[in-house]
Chains A and B, each alone.
Chain A
Amino acid sequence: MHAAVVVFPGSNCDRDLAVAFEASGAKVSKVWHKDTEIPEGVDIIGIPGGFSFGDYLRCGAIAANSPICKSVAAHAKRGGYVIGICNGFQVLTETGLLPGALLRNAGLKYICKTVGLKVETASSAFTQGYTAGDVIDIPIAHHDGNYFADDATIARLQGDERIAFTYTDTPNGAKADIAGILSENRRVLGMMPHPERAADAAHGGTDGQALFRALSGALEAV
């Protein structure tokens, strides 16, 4: 598996994401936001967490309009895989690759802690290493993770089993307890929690490892 990790000014989880990909056996290339091309042969693009462009205007809004994001959208349209974590999820909603938006946390506080996530579907390359119904412990670290979409969109996500993860005890006000969602073709995942921060025994938890291993297994087989 060849993964590309996009780096924006203000990204701060790009290295963690690259390390998690590498630990699962992937080759990783880092791509700068001003680049216009994704390297040849990339199977999956990772949009990392952080505070791209200082969260100015809206979280992820300026990153979503950076040169590299046109190539990210083209990659997704071709059926390529994309994972956006935390700020990366915000970027993916701002680009329109995933529906909805991430609002300020309902309690107005930045929250940094490990939370329980329920795996809602094992039917995707990202979640097939889990069993639907599993509860895993993954850290969150965000100020704007309150998922919002109109009721029709929420109903569609539920009906199509595109909700990948929900919070067992929603910390941020997210509608329908949504922590992560899939695109229609199930190849784009956006999630607020950080699986790359629970991918090594030294992290204090390894519940995120199965996501990267499953992905690597699925994409090696392609």
Chain B
Amino acid sequence: MKARVHVMLKNGVLDPQGDAVRHALGAMGFNGVEGVRQGKVIELDLADGSTEADVTAMCEKLLANTVIESYTVEMN
């Protein structure tokens, strides 16, 4: 089974990389992009029987820094 973890900077935490992407899009003529937030996706191959709670524990302990980042877990 697989899990997919999305990690994003929390709202209110400045994302200079997302902002640089927004500027680049504007400079390329893509008008109307009012904001860009950049995050990361982590895919995990898991042994059968692994639970969402296991993945949540991994997020809390390593995959995300909850001081600055939020995460969501997708099991499939």
B-binding residues in A (CB < 8 A): 57-58, 61-62, 65, 93-94, 99-101, 103-108, 146, 148-149, 173
- CB-based contact B16/A65 at 8 Å: no
Q: A103-B14, A108-B17, A173-B16 are in contact. List 8 more A-B contacts (CB 8 A).
A: A61-B65, A65-B61, A99-B67, A103-B16, A104-B16, A107-B16, A148-B14, A149-B67
A-B contact count (CB 8 A): 37
- CB-based contact B67/A100 at 8 Å: yes
Using CB atoms, name the residue of chain B closest to A96.
B67
B20 at the A interface (CB under 8 A): yes
Contact partner of A103 (CB less than 8 A), chosen from B13, B20, B63, is B13
For residue A5, give the distance in angstroms from its CB to the closest CB of chain B: 24
B53 at the A interface (CB under 8 A): no
For residue B4, give the distance in angstroms from its CB to the closest CB of chain A: 16
Place the interface of chain B in its size category: 10 to 19
Instruction: Enumerate chain A residues within 8 angstroms of B17, measured Cβ to Cβ.
Output: 104, 108
What secondary structure prevails in chain B residues at the interface with A? helix
- CB-based contact A106/B62 at 8 Å: no
- 3 A-B pairs with least C-beta separation: A101-B67, A101-B68, A106-B16
- CB-based contact A106/B14 at 8 Å: yes
- The 0/1 profile, CB within 8 Å of A marked 1, for residues 58-76 of chain B is 0001110101100000000
Instruction: Enumerate chain B residues within 8 angstroms of A100, measured Cβ to Cβ.
Output: 67
For residue A172, give the distance in angstroms from its CB to the closest CB of chain B: 10
Instruction: Enumerate chain A residues within 8 angstroms of B68, measured Cβ to Cβ.
Output: 101, 103, 148
Q: What are 18 inter-chain pairs, A to B, with CB distance below 8 A?
A: A58-B65, A61-B65, A93-B67, A94-B65, A99-B67, A100-B67, A101-B68, A103-B16, A107-B16, A108-B17, A108-B20, A146-B16, A148-B13, A148-B14, A148-B67, A148-B68, A173-B14, A173-B16
